[in-house]
Structure 1
Amino acid sequence: MQANAARPEFFGDIGCWSERTELHKAAYAGEVSVLQGLIQAGVSVNVVAVDSITALHEAAVRGQAQCVRILLDAGAQVDSRNVDGSTPLCEACSAGSAECVKLLLEWGAKVNPTLTSRTTSPLHEACMGGNAECARLVIAEGAHLEAYDLYYGTPLHVACANSHVECVKALLTAGSNVNAARLHETAMHHAARAGSVELLQLLIEFGGNVYVRDKHEHTPRHYTHPGSAASLRLQFYESTPLSLQQLCRITVRNVLGQRLLEVLPQLDIPPLVLSYLGYHEWMTITKSM
């Protein structure tokens, strides 16, 4: 098989700068037999295009797991970086390909590559795309929960800004700092701007500060629509001396072993609070104690 676009003037293992080659195209399209033929013909698996993209980047961004495996077996550099600093693992996380992520991790891909002004971490990429399984995979391998991106902040900021609830759950459960700030803006501000009551409640249950102010001196509620469910939820917490989370933890610790329905009449909780929160939320928080 002829490698038409894979020009002969290679030097070393990396190869010279060239346009996108047949190797890149085969990896991107998942053309396994073509890819294998090119490799057998002697084409370097690490040849880069003008933007420093390798065939491994191309396979990862398209979730072509079989091509990823073939390239790695043939000596592809697992942490090669393109012109933006992204690695194949970043691309696989962005694409939401858990299979590719697993392969790359098995071959030693770094979950915490050095960040630059143009680079986001694999965990950022997973959270940006709402790919919770990929996020959990890199978290399990030690991804930095507080990795800071110049434009987006932490992975938690990214997940909340894009309303990806499952990613937020994965991050908070793993121990992400719920009140981490970028220019004084926290995940609560992002969740409020998105108008997501579910996200706001989740952040609050993990200790999110509803009173925090950003660089404009705005609290999260400033970014909600007046009268909306998100605005009312934040207004409730702002006007309550103790947050619901604190109140529940205090009361539940004192009544362990008693049924909730037996306990509620004994608690000095305004009827408005109970009706607003609902029995379901009380049960949810009680089970988490």
Structure 2
Amino acid sequence: MSSWDSPPDYPLSSDLVRRLKCALAAGDNDTVQELICTEVEPVDAVIELANDDWMKEPSAQLPTGALLGLWTLEYKRELTTPLCIAAAHGHVFCVRHLLSHSADPDARPGGRGALHEACLGGHTACTRLLLQHGANPDLLSAEGLAPLHLCRTPASLGCAQALLEHGATVQLECGPGRDTPLHVAAQYGLDEHAQLYLGRGARVDARNARGETALSAACGAATRSPDEHARCLRLCALLLRGGAAADARDEDERSPLHKACGRARPSLCTLLLRHGADAGALDYGGASPLARALQTATCAPPAAPQRTVQALLNHGAPSVWPDAFPKVLRTCAQVPAVIEVLFNSYTKLRVSDSWQEVIPEEVYQKHEPFYRSLFALAHTPRSLQHLCRCAIRRLLGKKCFLLVPQLPLPETLQMYLLLEPEGVLR
């Protein structure tokens, strides 16, 4: 009979569970240690918890299964052990005490063992103690994840080092996605973890169940803060230096560049392009990296979408089919710099007065100088300077980004050739 079928040693209604939960909620470490070390018997007792996510980090989302359990007749029992609780909260004294009293370091009645919990919390000292007492460094949780796959924060670097020192498998493919630890590091933007894994022999172009390499996973991961952006850029540069294929496609034929463009990361796009990524690649849906950049332009950070579009065009990305330009105008009306960069990539493009109908009045008013200059071209040819720009760009082709800076021209003219937006069209 499994522990899920057996009655817990300390059910939800017990006095000890109530006091333990109160102590944890209050951050009363002394009381937590006293309860775990002096009152819980046996040392591997199974403790039942409520479905309130109380022993996880405050920002964690309640699992769907737990939510369903609250509203259906199915009761979702959450079980753990004293060792798991101590490891999850970094209580080194408790972990040492329990292990010295022969607690099983691999017990996982609730699906995760103490080593999983220590890695999730980034508690290096607890991780080392558990490993020294024989914890299995490759123990799989109920979700099929090894401890290395739960090293998901910068603070967990020490945990990852300890696991590898004790024989953890760096190339282990785990979970529904068949991710390796390097994939996990890429998904969470952990450049130091990635460097550690590569140094231990991780294959840089290993693929998961979705056909993604670590580089692909990193380019598609969400980042929010400047620090996360910087870590992601360092990680991708590390992977590329380690031999990662810049143009590796996943199961949907999307390249890392498709994903970086979809996330509006101009620095990352430029990095990929300079390592040979195909600016004109098409995914299974027929979308190019440029199309991905245009689709997400209005929700991207300021300046990012036009920089992404500019980088793609300067690396030879085909421009949008002229008949589709009104659709781009409708989609990107709030980001006129994107429209300017794209419009200037054509030698000539017939401007229609009807285009004004797709631009909301408030957007037109906000960016009136630009839109006035755009619609003025409906009756005026492009300048000779622009035609010369197009001729030079056509001659240089995909090497515009490389050759234009070498031309004996003032920097302002070089930037003009590289489609630097000016705020108006001429």
When the two structures are superposed, what TM-score results if normalisation uses the length of structure 1? 0.78
For 2:107 and 2:266, the matched residues in 1 are separated by 48
1:144 aligns with 2:213: no
For 1:121 and 1:37, the matched residues in 2 are separated by 33
1:177 aligns with 2:245: yes
Query: 114-123 vs 131-140, which deviates more?
Result: 114-123
In structure 1, what is the equivalent of residue 217 of structure 2?
A: 158
Shift of 1:218: 1.2
In structure 1, what is the equivalent of residue 399 of structure 2?
A: 244
The one-character-per-residue Cα deviations of 1:230-289 (angstroms, maximum 9, x if unpaired) are 1232123225564338955xx9xxxxxxxx9xx6439xxxx55675289xxxxxxxxxxx
Unaligned runs of 5+ in 2: 1-36, 47-77, 224-231, 298-304, 319-393, 421-426
SS at match of 1:185: coil
In structure 2, what is the equivalent of residue 83 of structure 1?
A: 142
User: Among 13, 31, 42, which residue is 2:102 paired with?
Assistant: 42
The one-character-per-residue Cα deviations of 1:152-209 (angstroms, maximum 9, x if unpaired) are 7111111111252121111111110111101210001001101111011000111111
In structure 1, what is the equivalent of residue 132 of structure 2?
A: 73
Residue pair 1:205, 1:245 contacting (<8 A) in 2 also? no
For 1:7 and 1:82, the matched residues in 2 are separated by 18
Unaligned runs of 5+ in 1: 10-17, 252-259, 279-289
For 2:306 and 2:417, the matched residues in 1 are separated by 18
Give every structure 1 segment of 4 or more consecutive aligned residues whose post-TM-superposition deviation is greater than 6 Å: none
For 2:400 and 2:313, the matched residues in 1 are separated by 15
SS at match of 1:179: coil
In structure 2, what is the equivalent of residue 228 of structure 1?
A: 306
Q: C-alpha root-mean-square deviation of aligned residues, in Å?
A: 2.8
Residue pair 2:45, 2:81 contacting (<8 A) in 1 also? no
Residue pair 1:188, 1:203 contacting (<8 A) in 2 also? yes
1:23-38 paired onto structure 2 within 5 Å = 23-38=83-98
SS at match of 1:265: coil
Distance of aligned partners of 1:56 and 1:213 in 2 relative to their CA distance in 1, 3 Å threshold = same
For 2:200 and 2:99, the matched residues in 1 are separated by 31
For 1:71 and 1:145, the matched residues in 2 are separated by 29
Shift of 1:50: 2.9
For 1:91 and 1:5, the matched residues in 2 are separated by 28
Residue pair 2:43, 2:102 contacting (<8 A) in 1 also? no
Shift of 1:8: 6.4
Residue pair 2:145, 2:174 contacting (<8 A) in 1 also? no
SS at match of 1:199: helix
For 2:147 and 2:400, the matched residues in 1 are separated by 41
What is the letter of the counterpart of residue 234 of structure 1? Answer: L
Percent pairwise identity: 25
For 2:258 and 2:108, the matched residues in 1 are separated by 41
Q: Which is bigger in relative contact order (C-alpha 8 A, separation at least 6)?
A: 1
Distance of aligned partners of 1:216 and 1:57 in 2 relative to their CA distance in 1, 3 Å threshold = same
In structure 1, what is the equivalent of residue 283 of structure 2?
A: 214
User: Among 86, 95, 112, which residue is 2:153 paired with?
Assistant: 95
In structure 2, what is the equivalent of residue 276 of structure 1?
A: 418
Query: 125-134 vs 230-239, which deviates more?
Result: 230-239
User: Among 256, 281, 292, which residue is 1:187 paired with?
Assistant: 256
Shift of 1:33: 0.8
Distance of aligned partners of 1:73 and 1:207 in 2 relative to their CA distance in 1, 3 Å threshold = same
Distance of aligned partners of 1:167 and 1:230 in 2 relative to their CA distance in 1, 3 Å threshold = same
Query: 129-138 vs 106-115, which deviates more?
Result: 106-115
1:96-111 paired onto structure 2 within 5 Å = 96=154, 97-111=156-170
For 1:219 and 1:118, the matched residues in 2 are separated by 25
For 2:100 and 2:136, the matched residues in 1 are separated by 18
For 1:275 and 1:118, the matched residues in 2 are separated by 44
What is the letter of the counterpart of residue 98 of structure 1? Answer: L
Asked which structure has the greater CA Rg, the reply is: 2
